[in-house]
């Protein structure tokens, strides 16, 4: 229930600040053509007795290439480039359209649009709300698609660095992606 | 007068009888005439079933050009339209509705279908390993999708089965439609409902596909565009960006092109092409030839009369084929009249050559030469009859019947019907001028002969140098499908992962169960080869529908609910996955223990059914399963068939009544074709000997016979060498063409050796008119896009021209000619 409280508390202020701050944040992010970071991702699921953790690296190249390379527990490579999704697992690569993976679309597309500073792209997919200030900001993304399994995506960051991505699904499962050593160029 | 009436009566009666046979004959429109007639029984069965089977009903559809979104929209719209058409059994374009049905089928029957199911799979260690893998998978990006499945299927059987059925070759999906690996084409597969041999149904179905495309391209399904615009309407910028695609939907699909390929497309196109090319070109050829004749005869009556021999010949030729073979191939009708086009020459010789002669002089002076020429042609065509290709044998019988009839009509009927007053164009000046020209060459006769010897030697040298690749050894060289269409087909097959079946294992058995069991055994035996990347993979109907034996074994290995619950608890210790939530799995396994086994009917309504039916063929008391082999490297699609054979040979003895063997379709058909080519070449050599013998007998002089043959052989060698130089590999059709050069050219050569002083000017003129009409008729064939027709035209047109020139230059023995007349003309 924490986010709801947060929402209520920041609601008014957020709405007022949104327009300008989103733009300045997006401009800030858009300056970076390339970025990489290591990540730890925790999955909290009803099916699991305890959270499952995976770790790996995240790499972004403007304008639209995002790679999520999982190293543990199962090596796996996910590349989003344009509309194409390439997944390599067990030495086998599969290519698909992002549109065919509505489950992961909000997470990676939201993250990519944010990293790219692409406000129009972000707003086509989500209702976007901004909280905080550039030094320490939170983007709250609510998918526009009514049938999305994802209830919301929350991205936290400090200036041009992404720190945390939380995806909460409608059934209550969630995943928490913590980024470290975000080296931007 | 009685004699004349009798001749006409016999002629008309003969025509009436022939007409009766022709009307009642059975005609086949396909090109099977150019497939070998006598393959082994197994190949016969296979070829027939492949022709009728699912593969023969598959149309590959590709959309190219325009934007990816537009292509996908057109694909979805076409699929929706075509699914409503009864002409199609199924339409697959990768959309979710069909894959949903497949997924449901696989999910419901996963414990009968999954190859992993054995006693060890649901043991405590087996479960532990499977659950650990599933837990990892849950944490992966695709994991959220898995989440719904896990409570029912924590060991991942559904996904494993789908993976195996789809294989790595399944096309990618983009915007709800299949696309090629490079994304440049949207792809669909349409399965025509009617059997593959029903070309009319195929033609209708293809028209429906084109209509659906036209409709879709005009107003593409605007669903996606609209929904994009709808969701974007909150953001003013995006709505503006999306507006153009909504405002003018046709602009979005502008540039999208439809490409079709697959057996039905080829079959319909070949038929249309053969029909169009043969009909259009023979009409055009006839018009040209008739124009030439009319300009000479200057009488419609004479023209019609001049066509009497060839028309009678064609009628009797078809009747002869119908009586000999029972059926008449469309190709026989198409080519036949070209082959006996020579008989038009007969009437030309009669009208022009004999215009200055009385009937009795025609009989004694010209007719023997025409008759000998005709018999030479008959000898040549007779060598086609024993060929294993029914198409060629039919052409042989047709030509023999046709030429005998045409010559007979020329000899007996034309003199009777010839109008008393015939105002032919006077061709004497043409003949005289040519005669003078020839006379002038007399002085340089030695040089001409030297040149001819050089030409012959050069041609022989080229042919000897090129002998390795002179003849095409591939059956496909006779294919009426142009190379560009074959390339498109290969590209689309690669896109769709539907490799053209070249190598396959064929399993025979007395029941479906026995072939499925044998297929399972075979596929298992091949596993090491696949592991070693010697074979890329093998399609197996038992993947779609396992044998009952296998299903029973899988069912029997499922533990009961209490046991499974107990094992889950033990296996789940130490894992993050909460095994307490797997009760749906326990219930499903328990239900599967009593589930009915799968039968072919169970596949109905899924795309799996089509996949299964493509690989299983049923005949009364005989089942065949096809297991196509895939190359490990799609770029170098070569499979070591001997190695596969060795593996199969090591299999323990087959189940009673079933057997498996490897079949390399291309190698087999090429080997067959080579046999026929060799037989045809032997036949041609035999025909040549018969021709020499015939001329020797007729002229009672070996030297004379050799003189007649010299220009003909020189023409044949020169044409063959020129084709070889041009990089054309010779096929059976070229052989027929070379034969025609001898058949038609022999008339020329015979006329030139006839008289001591060379043919009379009028005869010379008739030879020129005859040659012009032949070169025009066959030259037109070179314009066709049907390889077999082009081959015929490119051989015969230059060959007969050469035969006339060489005959004139080498054989004409007239003296220098009356010089004074030249002065008089000037």
Is the four-CA dihedral B40, B45, B48, B54 of positive or negative sign? Answer: negative
- The per-residue pLDDT for B213 is 92
Map tokens 């005709």 to a residue.
B374
Interface test with A, best of B103, B139, B235, B571 (most A CBs within 10 A): B139
Tell me the backbone φ, ψ of residue B228, rounded to 5 degrees: -60, -45
Please give the structure tokens belonging to residue B261: 């390929």
Q: For B174, which residue in chain A has the nearest alpha carbon?
A: A97
- C-alpha–C-alpha distance, residues A61 and B520, integer Å: 48
Map tokens 């699912």 to a residue.
B54
Please give the structure tokens belonging to residue B329: 């191939």
Q: Do B141 and A104 touch (CB under 8 A)?
A: yes
Q: Nearest to residue B408, comparing CAs of B316, B493, B285, B531?
A: B316
Q: How far is A47 from chain B (nearest CA, A)?
A: 6
Q: For A107, which residue in chain B has the nearest alpha carbon?
A: B141
Chain B positions touching A82 (Cβ under 8 A) are none
With a CB cutoff of 8 Å and minimum separation 6, the contacts of B786 are B270, B273, B274, B277, B278, B480
Q: How far is A151 from chain B (nearest CA, A)?
A: 13
Q: Do B172 and A97 touch (CB under 8 A)?
A: yes
- C-alpha–C-alpha distance, residues B228 and B239, integer Å: 8
Q: Do B176 and A144 touch (CB under 8 A)?
A: no
Q: Is the peptide bond between B686 and the residue preceding it cis, with omega within 30 degrees of 0?
A: no
A170 touches chain B (CB under 8 A): no
DSSP state string for B290-346: HHHHHHHH--HHHHHHHHHHHHHHHHHHHHHHHHHHSEEEHHHHHHHHHHTTHHHHH
C-alpha dihedral, B704 to B709 to B712 to B716, nearest 10° = -160
Q: How far is B483 from chain A (nearest CA, A)?
A: 31
pLDDT tens by residue, A48-88: 888 888 889 988 887 788 888 888 887 888 888 877 778 88
Strand partners, A130: A139
DSSP state string for B562-600: HHHHHHHHHHTTT-SB-GGG-HHHHHHHHHHTTPPPP-G
Interface test with B, best of A19, A39, A45 (most B CBs within 10 A): A45
- C-alpha–C-alpha distance, residues B691 and B698, integer Å: 10
- The per-residue pLDDT for B239 is 33
Map tokens 């409570």 to a residue.
B151
- The per-residue pLDDT for B719 is 95
Q: How far is B132 from chain A (nearest CA, A)?
A: 10
- From the list A46, A100, A103, the residue facing B144 with the nearest CB is A103
Q: Are B58 and B189 in contact (CB under 8 A)?
A: yes
pLDDT exceeds cutoff 80 at A106: no
With a CB cutoff of 8 Å and minimum separation 6, the contacts of B269 are B481, B485
- The per-residue pLDDT for B245 is 32
Q: Are B501 and B55 in contact (CB under 8 A)?
A: yes
Confidence of residue A11 (pLDDT cuts 50, 70, 90): very low
- From the list A47, A70, A107, the residue facing B147 with the nearest CB is A47
- C-alpha–C-alpha distance, residues A54 and A60, integer Å: 19
Q: Do B137 and A74 touch (CB under 8 A)?
A: yes
Q: Are B366 and B357 in contact (CB under 8 A)?
A: yes
A:29-88 residues touching chain B, CB 8 A cutoff: 41, 43, 45-54, 68, 70, 73-74, 76, 78, 83-84, 87
Chain B positions touching A109 (Cβ under 8 A) are none
- The per-residue pLDDT for B797 is 92
Q: Is the peptide bond between A73 and the residue preceding it cis, with omega within 30 degrees of 0?
A: yes
Q: Is the ipTM of this complex over 0.90?
A: no
DSSP state string for B221-239: --HHHHHHHHHHTTSHHHH
Q: Do B140 and A120 touch (CB under 8 A)?
A: no
Q: Are B586 and B561 in contact (CB under 8 A)?
A: yes
- The per-residue pLDDT for B170 is 62
CA angle B462, B467, B473 (to 5 degrees): 135
Chain A positions touching B174 (Cβ under 8 A) are 83-84, 96-97, 99-100
A:105-144 residues touching chain B, CB 8 A cutoff: 107-108, 120, 123-124, 127, 144
Chain A positions touching B176 (Cβ under 8 A) are 99-100
CA angle B129, B527, B671 (to 5 degrees): 160
- C-alpha–C-alpha distance, residues B450 and B403, integer Å: 36
Long-range residue pairs from B352-357, CB within 8 A, at least 24 positions apart, any chain:
B352/B296, B352/B424, B352/B427, B352/B762, B352/B763, B352/B765, B352/B766, B352/B769, B353/B760, B353/B762, B353/B763, B353/B766, B355/B422, B355/B424, B355/B762, B356/B762
Q: Nearest to residue B157, comparing CAs of B102, B114, B109, B127?
A: B114
Chain A positions touching B151 (Cβ under 8 A) are 47
Please give the structure tokens belonging to residue A88: 């390599």
DSSP B55: G
Chain B positions touching A170 (Cβ under 8 A) are none
Q: What is this structure's pTM?
A: 0.64
- The per-residue pLDDT for B633 is 66
CA angle B183, B184, B188 (to 5 degrees): 80
- C-alpha–C-alpha distance, residues B815 and B755, integer Å: 13
What count of Cα atoms within 13 Å lies in the side-chain half-sphere of residue B728? Answer: 20
Q: For B149, which residue in chain A has the nearest alpha carbon?
A: A47
Q: Are B306 and B351 in contact (CB under 8 A)?
A: yes
Pairs of residues, one from chain A and one from chain B, whose beta carbons lie less than 8 Å apart: 99
Chain B positions touching A92 (Cβ under 8 A) are 168
Question: What are the angstrom distances between the C-alpha of B149 and each of B144, B324, B584?
Answer: 10, 67, 10
- C-alpha–C-alpha distance, residues B467 and B444, integer Å: 34
> Would you call A50 helix, strand, or coil by DSSP?
coil
Q: Do A47 and B139 touch (CB under 8 A)?
A: no
Q: For B572, which residue in chain A has the nearest alpha carbon?
A: A49
Q: Are B592 and B558 in contact (CB under 8 A)?
A: yes
Percent composition of chain B: helix, strand, coil (DSSP 3-state, to 5) = 70, 10, 25
Going by their DSSP bridges, the two strands B26-28 and B327-329 should be labelled as: parallel
Q: Are B317 and B401 in contact (CB under 8 A)?
A: yes
Q: How far is A42 from chain B (nearest CA, A)?
A: 8
Residues recorded for chain A? 185
- C-alpha–C-alpha distance, residues B641 and B749, integer Å: 53
Please give the structure tokens belonging to residue A98: 């992002």
Mean pLDDT per 10-residue interval, chain B, length 826 residues: 82 92 77 54 55 73 87 88 87 73 86 83 86 81 72 85 68 76 84 79 91 81 37 33 35 76 81 70 78 83 86 91 85 73 82 72 82 87 76 86 92 82 76 82 79 91 86 67 75 70 80 90 86 81 90 89 87 83 88 88 79 78 82 66 79 71 74 76 86 86 86 94 90 84 87 75 84 84 77 91 90 59 37
Tell me the backbone φ, ψ of residue A115, rounded to 5 degrees: -60, -35
For chain A, the first-to-last Cα distance in angstroms comes to: 37
CA B189 to chain centre: 20
Q: Do A99 and B174 touch (CB under 8 A)?
A: yes
Q: Do B231 and A87 touch (CB under 8 A)?
A: no
Q: Are B312 and B820 in contact (CB under 8 A)?
A: no
- C-alpha–C-alpha distance, residues B187 and A36, integer Å: 37
Going by their DSSP bridges, the two strands A52-61 and A65-72 should be labelled as: antiparallel
Q: How far is A140 from chain B (nearest CA, A)?
A: 17
Q: Are B740 and B771 in contact (CB under 8 A)?
A: no
Q: Nearest to residue B650, comparing CAs of B526, B504, B517?
A: B526
DSSP B471: B
Please give the structure tokens belonging to residue B468: 């390795």
């Amino acid at each position: 229930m924490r986010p709801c409280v947060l929402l209520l508390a920041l609601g008014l202020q957020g709405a007022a600040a949104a327009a300008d701050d989103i733009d300045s944040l997006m401009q800030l992010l858009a300056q970076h053509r390339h970025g990489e970071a290591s990540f730890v991702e925790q999955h909290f699921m009803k099916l699991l007795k305890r959270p499952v953790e995976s770790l790996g690296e995240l790499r972004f190249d403007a304008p639209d290439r995002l790679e999520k390379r999982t190293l543990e527990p199962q090596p796996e490579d996910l590349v989003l480039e344009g509309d194409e999704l390439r997944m390599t697992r067990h030495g086998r690569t599969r290519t698909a359209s992002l549109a065919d993976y509505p489950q992961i679309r909000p997470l990676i597309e939201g993250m990519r649009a944010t990293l790219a500073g692409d406000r129009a792209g972000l707003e086509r997919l989500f209702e976007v709300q901004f909280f905080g200030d550039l030094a320490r900001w939170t983007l709250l993304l609510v998918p526009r698609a009514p049938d999305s399994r994802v209830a919301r995506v929350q991205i936290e960051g400090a200036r041009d660095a992404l720190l945390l991505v939380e995806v909460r699904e409608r059934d209550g499962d969630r995943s928490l992606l913590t980024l470290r050593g975000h080296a931007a160029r | 007068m009685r004699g004349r009436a009798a001749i006409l009566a016999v002629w008309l009666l003969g025509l009436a009888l022939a007409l009766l046979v022709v009307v009642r004959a059975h005609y086949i429109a396909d090109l099977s005439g150019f497939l070998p007639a006598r393959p082994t029984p197994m190949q016969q069965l296979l070829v027939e079933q492949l022709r009728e089977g699912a593969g023969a009903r598959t149309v590959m559809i590709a959309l190219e050009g325009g934007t990816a979104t537009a292509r996908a929209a057109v694909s979805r719209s076409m699929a929706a339209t075509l699914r409503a058409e009864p002409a199609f059994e199924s339409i697959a374009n990768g959309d979710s509705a069909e894959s949903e049905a497949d997924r449901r089928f696989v999910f419901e029957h996963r414990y009968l279908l999954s190859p992993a199911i054995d006693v060890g799979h649901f043991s405590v260690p087996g479960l532990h390993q499977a659950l650990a893998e599933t837990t990892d998978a849950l944490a992966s990006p695709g994991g959220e999708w898995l989440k719904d499945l896990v409570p029912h299927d924590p060991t991942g059987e559904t996904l494993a089965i789908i993976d195996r059925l789809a294989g790595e070759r399944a096309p990618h999906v983009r915007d709800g439609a299949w696309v090629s690996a490079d994304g440049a084409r949207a792809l669909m597969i349409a399965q025509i409902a009617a059997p593959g041999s029903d070309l009319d149904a195929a033609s209708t179905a293809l028209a429906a596909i084109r209509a659906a495309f036209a409709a879709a391209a005009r107003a593409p399904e605007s669903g996606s565009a609209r929904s994009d615009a709808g969701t974007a309407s909150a953001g003013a910028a995006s709505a503006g960006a999306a507006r153009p695609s909504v405002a003018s939907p046709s602009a979005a699909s502008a540039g999208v092109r439809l490409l079709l390929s697959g057996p039905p497309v080829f079959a319909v196109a070949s038929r249309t092409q053969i029909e169009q090319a043969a009909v259009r070109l023979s009409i055009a050829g006839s018009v040209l030839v008739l124009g030439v004749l009319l300009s000479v005869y200057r009488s419609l009556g004479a023209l019609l009369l001049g066509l009497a021999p060839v028309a009678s010949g064609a009628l009797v030729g078809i009747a002869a084929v119908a009586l000999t073979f029972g059926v008449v191939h469309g190709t026989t009708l198409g080519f036949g009249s070209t082959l006996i086009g020579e008989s038009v020459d007969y009437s030309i010789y009669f009208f022009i050559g004999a215009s200055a002669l009385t009937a009795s002089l025609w009989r004694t002076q010209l007719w023997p030469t025409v008759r000998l020429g005709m018999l030479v042609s008959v000898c040549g065509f007779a060598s086609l009859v024993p060929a294993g290709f029914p198409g060629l044998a039919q052409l042989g019988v047709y030509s023999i019947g046709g030429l005998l009839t045409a010559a007979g009509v020329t000899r007996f009927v034309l003199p009777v019907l010839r109008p008393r007053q015939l105002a032919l164009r006077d061709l004497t000046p043409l003949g005289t001028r040519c005669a003078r020209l020839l006379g002038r060459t007399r002085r340089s006769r030695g040089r001409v002969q030297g040149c001819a010897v050089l030409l012959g030697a050069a041609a022989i040298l080229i042919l000897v140098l090129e002998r390795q690749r002179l003849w095409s050894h591939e059956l496909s060289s006779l294919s009426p499908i142009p190379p560009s269409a074959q390339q498109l087909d290969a590209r689309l097959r690669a896109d769709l992962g539907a490799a053209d079946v070249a190598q396959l294992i064929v399993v025979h058995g007395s029941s479906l169960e026995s072939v499925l069991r044998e297929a399972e055994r075979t596929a298992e035996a091949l596993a090491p080869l696949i592991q070693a990347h010697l074979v890329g993979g093998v399609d197996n109907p038992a993947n779609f529908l396992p044998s009952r034996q296998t299903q029973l074994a899988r069912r029997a290995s499922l533990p009961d609910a209490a046991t499974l619950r107990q094992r889950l608890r033990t296996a789940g210790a130490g894992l993050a996955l909460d095994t307490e939530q797997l009760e749906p799995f326990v219930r499903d396994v328990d239900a599967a223990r009593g589930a009915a086994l799968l039968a072919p009917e169970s596949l109905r309504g899924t795309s799996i059914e089509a996949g299964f039916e493509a690989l299983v063929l049923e005949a009364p008391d005989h089942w065949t399963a096809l297991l196509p082999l895939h190359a490990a490297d799609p770029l170098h699609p070569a499979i070591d068939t001997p190695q596969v054979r060795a593996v199969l040979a090591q299999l323990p003895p087959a189940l009673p009544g079933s057997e498996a063997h490897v079949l390399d379709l291309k190698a087999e058909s090429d080997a067959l074709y080579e046999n026929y080519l060799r037989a045809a070449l032997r036949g041609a050599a035999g025909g040549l000997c018969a021709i020499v013998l015939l001329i020797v007998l007729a002229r009672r002089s070996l030297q004379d016979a050799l003189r007649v043959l010299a220009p003909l052989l020189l023409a044949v060698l020169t044409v063959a060498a020129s084709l070889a130089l041009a990089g054309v590999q010779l096929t059976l059709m070229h052989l027929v063409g070379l034969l025609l050069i001898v058949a038609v050219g022999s008339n020329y050569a015979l006329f030139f050796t006839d008289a001591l002083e060379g043919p009379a000017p009028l005869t010379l003129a008739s030879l020129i008119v005859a040659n012009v009409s032949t070169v025009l008729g066959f030259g037109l064939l070179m314009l066709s896009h049907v390889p077999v027709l082009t081959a015929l035209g490119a051989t015969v047109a230059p060959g007969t021209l050469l035969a006339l020139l060489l005959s004139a230059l080498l054989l004409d023995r007239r003296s220098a000619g009356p010089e004074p007349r030249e002065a008089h003309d000037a």
